[in-house]
Structure 1
Amino acid sequence: MKNVLTILTVLLSFNILSAQDQIQTQNGSFTIHLIGHGTLYLEYKGTIIHIDPWSKLTDYSQLPDADYIFITHQHGDHLDNKAISKIIKEDTKIFAPKVCDAVLSDFKNVSYLKNGDSFKTTFGSIDAVPAYNIQHMRDDQTPFHPKGQGNGYVFTIDGSTVYIAGDTENIPEMRDLKGVYIAFLPMNLPYTMTPEMVANASDMLQPKILYPYHFGNTDTNVLLDLLKDSDIDIRIRDMQ
């Protein structure tokens, strides 16, 4: 009994019992595991795709090893070598923007992607897309996320398109993303978007399912009210 209680305590303490959503596709389904903040992983036919693993949120030694790891940008809540080291295996492939190269230098099988890069994998296609600030700036008037440094990612898995925006605002390039089925949009001031910006991004993208994520203390009810007349399935999860 002591061992069972100890394991349960660890699971609860590290949020390993994260929310899971099953998404139906043309020929089956995939699972989204929502860990928290900007961190999640996808599971499709035995393939594990981790996005922005962060060891502050969970015990990565208890999670499945990664076949693929995608990093959106270099900030510590998105690029965490400790978390990566717990889920990496001999053939794990890591993808990140070039700004992450110094931090990822100890790992092999790392590919650096720039905005506009596109390729196919064993589970589908990947597009690296822009992620940056237009309005929100640091005290020295430089953007929190400069244009061209970070990536968002568009995964097409068995005909279903999943857009993981990374740290960005409602940038005009979102209008170019067609057929988005699921969108993960950040909503955390001062670094990313206000609820009004997320609502505008949703108008541009027209996803079927919207997950506001990386939302900190932002009141998600504001977004729900802004989009109350839309047909978007807005899913609020524990993704502060």
Structure 2
Amino acid sequence: MEIQKLNWAGIRLTSHNKTILIDAVEDFSYYKPVLGDAVENLLAFSDHVQADYILFTHMHLDHFDKRVIQKCLKKDGKLIVYAGLEAIVKKLVEDVEIITLNLDETFTENNITFKPVFAMDGIGEIQSSWIVDDGTTKIFHGGDTIWHNQFWKFGKENPNIDYAFLPVNGVVVNFEIIGLEYSPVPASLNLKEAFAAAHLLHAKKLIPIHYGLFAHEKCYIPHVFDENDMKSVAEELGQKYITLKDGAILIES
């Protein structure tokens, strides 16, 4: 499996001559009032990536990009959707084949298995995490989930996870601009929670996502950390990790 880190929480997987996009977003402009400007140049990929399968964890526009689906999904490609989001997706996306899965239900095609599992969104909206397994490499993608009590269960029921892609920015959001009361409780996993979740998943390595690219002094306030903090938490919890810059490729045999 070849793994490429895309913008923010996005990844591209290539296996068995098939391309999979998860949480692949290119246009973050709609969320600029609350996320602020990207602090680094965004990776442009939609002009040259053609996907056989597209997945997303939830409908926030920093994880779901309708334009990416329109540009990147092959004519015979499939949009794989958690059942809790099916009705919303069908109102937004037309003329594509949709595979709908309940939590813990699997779909296998071309020797690749897809499974949505429980997740919790930081502001109470519908979300799932995804497990993708090509028979050689198994990945877990956690979108921007907060901490919940299912990580123990996932680790027991889904052995041999190679890479856990988990959010680490522990962001505090102030979305009063869209009618949500302020809460000081983080709306995504923080660094220590992500390492602990990866440990409970028995993942060989954590790959941090959903950090570093956005911050807004009033609306979107991430937990700040550096490489030394990651090393310290990794040693404390005995959890290995790899950091990938946007655009970087990890190739596994």
Superposed CA RMSD in Å reads 2.1
Residues 107 and 76 (structure 1 numbering): CA distance in 2 closer, same or farther, change over 3 Å? farther
Residues 126 and 86 (structure 1 numbering): CA distance in 2 closer, same or farther, change over 3 Å? same
2:3 is equivalent to residue 32 of structure 1:
yes
Q: Deviations over 1:58-115 (max 9, x none)?
A: 3334332110001111000111111111112210100123434255332420223332
Q: Deviations over 1:168-197 (max 9, x none)?
A: 123221112232211001112132111121
Query: 1:42–1:50: 8 Å Cα contact kept in structure 2?
Result: yes
CA distance in 1, matches of 2:77, 2:148: 32
Give the SS at the match of 1:227: helix
- Superposition TM-score, scaled by structure 1 size: 0.75
CA distance in 2, matches of 1:157, 1:210: 18
Of the candidates 93, 97, 119, which is equivalent to residue 131 of structure 1?
Answer: 119
Of the candidates 60, 64, 80, which is equivalent to residue 95 of structure 1?
Answer: 80
The one-letter code of the counterpart of 2:147 is N
2:115 is equivalent to residue 144 of structure 1:
no
2:99 is equivalent to residue 111 of structure 1:
yes
CA distance in 2, matches of 1:145, 1:152: 15
The one-letter code of the counterpart of 1:129 is V
Of the candidates 41, 61, 69, which is equivalent to residue 54 of structure 2?
Answer: 69
Aligned to 1:165: 142
Structure with the bigger RCO (C-alpha within 8 Å, sep 6+) is: 2
Aligned to 2:164: 183
Of the candidates 178, 196, 203, which is equivalent to residue 199 of structure 2?
Answer: 203
Of the candidates 49, 52, 70, which is equivalent to residue 85 of structure 1?
Answer: 70
- Superposition TM-score, scaled by structure 2 size: 0.71
CA distance in 2, matches of 1:80, 1:87: 11
2:13 is equivalent to residue 42 of structure 1:
yes
Query: 173-182 or 217-226: which moved more?
Result: 217-226
Number of paired residues? 199
Query: 2:54–2:78: 8 Å Cα contact kept in structure 1?
Result: yes
Identity of aligned residues (%): 21
List gaps (5 residues or longer) in structure 1.
Answer: 1-29, 134-142
Query: 2:234–2:240: 8 Å Cα contact kept in structure 1?
Result: no
Q: Deviations over 1:122-170 (max 9, x none)?
A: 132121101114xxxxxxxxx4244xx2111111112322111112123
Query: 1:212–1:236: 8 Å Cα contact kept in structure 2?
Result: yes
Query: 2:195–2:206: 8 Å Cα contact kept in structure 1?
Result: no
The one-letter code of the counterpart of 2:129 is G
Q: Deviations over 1:22-72 (max 9, x none)?
A: xxxxxxxx1001112111110113110011121234333433211000111
CA distance in 1, matches of 2:146, 2:59: 17
CA distance in 2, matches of 1:107, 1:174: 36
2:126 is equivalent to residue 120 of structure 1:
no
Residues 219 and 123 (structure 1 numbering): CA distance in 2 closer, same or farther, change over 3 Å? farther
